[in-house]
Amino acid sequence: MRFSIDAHAIGRHLTGNEVYVRSLLEGFAALDKKSEFIAYTSVRGAEEYVPAPIRTSRVSENPFVRLGVDLSRRVREDKPALLHVQYTAPLFCPAPVVVSIHDVSYLEHPEFFTRSRRMQLQFTVERTVRRAAKILTLSEFSRNGIAKAYGLDPSKIAVVPAACSDIFKPVSRAKAKAFVEGRFQIEQPFVLFVGDLQPRKNPLGLIHAFESLVANCPELPHHLVMVGKDTWNSPRVHQAAENSPFGNRIHFTGWVDDSELLQLYNACDIFAFPSFYEGFGIPILEAMACGRAVACAQTSAMPEVAGKSAVLFDPHSTDGMMAAMRDLLRNAELRARMERAGLQNASRFTWRGTARKTLDIYHEVTGSRKKAGQRTAAAERR
């Protein structure tokens, strides 16, 4: 059986979308040695992030060319049993389409998007949903949102949760702190945030909550480290930090690779994730897998992912966010309890399990589900 995957996100620092497709490909390579997989990448060097058994084929980096011409042409030439895409399928596709839609924030919170990006998603995703053989999403929250947005029976949408990479685990805190000091010149204990500097991630809210934390708890020496790619919203975030009375304690690293992120997670005292809206929230699991206590928003899919292993807060409340960080930093017993619970919670999610469920859906769509289930079960026992 031959399956194809639109992997244009690989190598483009598209955060969650890139993590998703890279991790699926790694899982496929480990679980299914008999099927053939083709990953359609779009930037030079992306091939090095694709497991060796999986064939790569280049498509245009330009989304209009990729979706209008290239992907359709590749699928016609390769004749896969299906094409798996994230959000948007090519304009004309001669194979059945499986689509992963992580959330419908572009419909539920259009204010978080530029006008052009919002309109593009509203048009292309609906077209893809209507023609898809199967829709996948990451959480019950997102399944309900997709069903409501497009008038679908929720049972038509499969929930296949994401996970975090195996690279994220506890390592020596002393070595991690030394790495962060040398690489980023941050010597003080710190609160960590990970996410693109876009409005949906609420970086401005976190800066204001951090200001309140330092003002109300002057004995805390902590800094705030914000890790993530700059976006159209970045100037507002950087300006807020510059205008802050504690601006010298707020640091921006920009995008970092996983090896650097591992060290940042392990070096921080706590992880704060104040996002207004998430279809899943992989950074929550990454921090937990590194043994860090988490304070995160109580909205959208985040309680579903964090369970009872995080301190939750209202992301619209500066006081609530400040109190969650304060309690974790001041209460060593609470922090240790959340660290232990987080490690256990993160272990519930694995990319191998995600890949196995996705493969089962591939075979369901192509009519060979029973055989696939036997094959992947055997692979997992090895």
Domains contained in the chain, CATH given:
2-163+350-381 (3.40.50.2000), 173-346 (3.40.50.2000)
382 has a pLDDT exceeding 70:
no
For the residues 145-165, what does the mean pLDDT come to?
94
Average pLDDT, the chain: 94
pLDDT in tens, 274-316: 999 999 999 999 999 999 999 999 999 999 999 999 999 999 9
The DSSP symbol for 235 reads H
For the residues 136-145, what does the mean pLDDT come to?
97
376 has a pLDDT exceeding 60:
no
Phi/psi of residue 373, each to 5°? -60, -40
The DSSP symbol for 372 reads H
What token pair was written down for 24?
């699926």
What token pair was written down for 299?
């909205």
155 has a pLDDT exceeding 80:
yes
Higher pLDDT, 371 or 73: 73
What token pair was written down for 192?
């960590």
pLDDT in tens, 239-253: 999 999 999 999 999
Q: Which residue has the tokens 């596709």?
A: 93
- The Cα–Cα gap between 359 and 366 comes to 11
pLDDT in tens, 219-238: 999 999 999 999 999 999 99
What token pair was written down for 355?
């890949």
Higher pLDDT, 114 or 348: 348
Within 10 angstroms of residue 149's Cβ, the number of other Cβ atoms is 17
What is the per-residue pLDDT for 16?
Answer: 79
Which residues have C-beta within 8 Å of that of residue 59, sequence separation ≥ 6?
8, 40, 41, 42, 65, 66, 70, 71, 74
38 has a pLDDT exceeding 70:
yes
Question: Using 50, 70 and 90 to split pLDDT, how confident is the model at 73?
Answer: very high
154 has a pLDDT exceeding 60:
yes
13 has a pLDDT exceeding 90:
no
380 has a pLDDT exceeding 90:
no
What is the per-residue pLDDT for 332?
Answer: 97
The model's pTM is: 0.89
CA dist list (Å): 6 to 20, 62, 88: 11, 14, 10
- The Cα–Cα gap between 83 and 165 comes to 24
Helices (H), 32-159: 63-65, 71-78, 105-108, 115-131, 140-150
Which residues have C-beta within 8 Å of that of residue 227, sequence separation ≥ 6?
192, 193, 194, 195, 253, 254, 255, 256, 261, 264
Question: Using 50, 70 and 90 to split pLDDT, how confident is the model at 372?
Answer: very low
- The Cα–Cα gap between 283 and 196 comes to 11
- The Cα–Cα gap between 90 and 79 comes to 15
Q: Which of 273, 274, 280 lies closest to 304 in space, CA to CA? A: 280
